[in-house]
Structure 1
Amino acid sequence: MKLIKLSLVLMALSLFIACDKDDDNDVMQQQFSTADVTALSSITNVGTWRVSSFIEDGDNITSVFSGFSFTFNDDGTLVVDNGTLTLNGTWQITYDDDRDDVEFEVSISTSMGDLDEDFDELSEDWYIITYSDTRIQLSEDDDDDDDILILERI
């Protein structure tokens, strides 16, 4: 009888040890195809967008971009505007077949003193994490950082 109980305990213990921790908070990047480039390009250049969340090196800097709207034009130009200040830039969505992912490249020209650094942080190559018609979640193309940018259509 003791041998049966011991066997059951050892079997249960081995099941607990063999299980990995499942962390649902981790952002997992989806596998994409070239069709996603076309879909994202069509979605992005409709309407205007805003930064709904921007986590840079663990700091929430979303408020820096409050009031700014982003217009992604068909010709690859980008206009960032808050009603008094207009910035210009470029954007491009490409497929990286080495990694089976889609990159969202943003470049914004600035000469605004303190805001330069913040807008430089937006001027990156971003990986698409998820997207819908009204929301795009991105992570920075840098294994050292956990930067997350979320754009939402206004």
Structure 2
Amino acid sequence: MKKIKIISAFVFLLLLSVVSSCTDEDDDVVVNASVDPTPVINTVNNGTWRITLFNDSGVNETSNFTGYNFSFGAGSVLSATNGVDTYLGTWSVTSDNSNDDSPSNDLDFNIAFSTPANFAELTEDWNIVSYNSTKIQLIHVSGGGGGTDYVTFEKN
């Protein structure tokens, strides 16, 4: 009888710790197959964002974007400004069920800039690793052994 009480108490404590660890409303959403792009679009449409990580095939190039605020606007207009210079590009979030370099039935976060050169490096069909209301993490694996790039946007 004593063993049953000890086991019951242990199970209760284990369940309590699991439930209490799942209460953060800003938990990252890990994107997988058959995901609707609308929540991601609504998240990035809200406010301005900055790049807190840009890793180009193992080289940290985050400093190329220091001081720039990014706005993911209506009509697929993406703007980046540092108060002096403003660069315009395009963006979209689409279902990835096509024949691209990683056809995995997930979401693509598409970014395109033509200038300047360091912003043009953002031009990719990024896969969404995770996102929440204040952070979105993206990855791009180049075909043909070109490397893996990472970019993280955080809300201002």
Distance 2:96 2:55 in 1: 24
Cα distance per residue 1:9-46 (max 9 Å; x no partner): xxxxxxxxxxxxxxxxxxxx7424232x0100000110
- Pair 1:69-2:69 in alignment: yes
Give the match for residue 104 of structure 1.
109
Residue correspondence of structure 1 range 19-58 to structure 2 within 5 A: 30-35=31-36, 37-58=37-58
- Pair 1:148-2:150 in alignment: yes
What are the ranges of 5 or more consecutive residues in structure 1 without an aligned counterpart? 1-28, 111-115
- Report the TM-score, using the length of structure 2 for normalisation: 0.72
1:75 is paired with a residue whose SS is: helix
Aligned length: 120
**Residues 45 and 72, structure 1, Cα contact 8 Å, conserved in 2:** yes
Letter in 2 for 1:150: T
**Residues 140 and 150, structure 2, Cα contact 8 Å, conserved in 1:** yes
**Could you list the runs of 4 or more consecutive aligned residues of structure 1 that deviate by over 4 angstroms after TM superposition?**
none
1:31 is paired with a residue whose SS is: coil
Give the match for residue 135 of structure 2.
135
The Cα shift of 1:101 comes to 1.1
Distance 1:63 1:33 in 2: 35
Change (3 A) 1:50 1:146: same
- Report the TM-score, using the length of structure 1 for normalisation: 0.73
Distance 1:141 1:78 in 2: 22
Larger Rg: 1
Residue correspondence of structure 1 range 86-97 to structure 2 within 5 A: 86-97=86-97
**Residues 53 and 150, structure 1, Cα contact 8 Å, conserved in 2:** yes
1:40 is paired with a residue whose SS is: helix
Letter in 1 for 2:153: L
Letter in 1 for 2:34: S
Distance 2:70 2:137 in 1: 15
